[in-house]
Amino acid sequence: MMRTIGKMRVDLNDQRGFTLIEMAIVLIIIGIIIGAVVKGKDVMKSAEQKRLYSTFVREWQMAYNNYYDRTGWILGDDVDASNTTRDGHCGNGTVALAAALDAQLTRVGLKPPADGPTGLSNVRSYTDANGRQYTLTLSFNYHVNIGNYIQINGPAGVPVDLGLAWDRVIDGSADGTAGDLRYDNNVTPSTTGVAWPLATAAADNDSQIYFLLDF
């Protein structure tokens, strides 16, 4: 019996907690894992933003240029399928949307950009880094301040993080006021656009992204 008690005392004395060094190592490993997860999410979001530009905006920019090369006309100059009432201004006073744009392209043997998950070639969905969801509509328009342009907007405005990413891809910097991509928080485009809000900011309902067209 005495031997058993003595053995229990020895075993209890051998049970030690973590040392400060061991705890520090564990915390460092946890920090590395958390950092890797956060970084991985950032990389995935960046890839999604670039992919959305390539498969959506860029496809429409190419369609616009190809249509002009083939016909000498401006895509979306008029809002009907034949594009017959032309003045060189996109939309001819009214925003040109998917049905008319798709028809204008197919009438001259060009394939419209693919439909998105919404079933429309000019509408896409996007969820920003804070989980806010947006429906983005692409249209062709004209304003005397900036000429012909592609417009991106939606009922809840445009997501700031997406616009910042696109601006860096297109113009090499993200200020919203210069280059081929402009940002505005008003439904009427200004000559220079306005500076981007913080990436974490909620979108202004009237915010727009404008992609300037060459002709």
Answer yes or no: is 53 within a domain. Answer: yes
Torsion-angle region of 20 (φ positive above 0: left; ψ -120 to 50: alpha; else: beta): alpha
Report whether 138 contacts 59 (CB < 8 A).
no
Q: What percentage of residues in the chain have a pLDDT greater than 90?
A: 56
Sorting pLDDT into bands at 50, 70 and 90, what band is 2? very low
In this prediction, residue 190 carries a pLDDT of 87
Q: Which structural domain, as residue segments, surrounds residue 176?
A: 17-212
Which range, of 26-35, 72-81, 105-114, 117-126, averages the lowest pLDDT?
26-35
- The strand ranges marked E within 27-185 are 123-127, 133-143, 147-153, 181-184
Answer yes or no: is 4 within a domain. Answer: no
Task: For residue range 39-68, list pLDDT tens digits in order.
Answer: 556 778 999 999 999 999 999 999 999 999
In this prediction, residue 119 carries a pLDDT of 87
Query: How many domains would you assign to the chain?
Result: 1
With a CB cutoff of 8 Å and minimum separation 6, the contacts of 51 are none
| Average pLDDT of the residues in 174-203 | 89
Answer yes or no: is 56 within a domain. Answer: yes
Is the pTM above the cut of 0.75? yes
Q: Looking at this protein, which amino acid is placed at residue 20?
A: L
Answer yes or no: is 9 within a domain. Answer: no
Taking each continuous run of H as one helix and of E as one strand, the counts in the chain are 5, 5
Answer yes or no: is 3 within a domain. Answer: no
Sorting pLDDT into bands at 50, 70 and 90, what band is 12? very low
Answer yes or no: is 5 within a domain. Answer: no
Answer yes or no: is 51 within a domain. Answer: yes
Answer yes or no: is 66 within a domain. Answer: yes
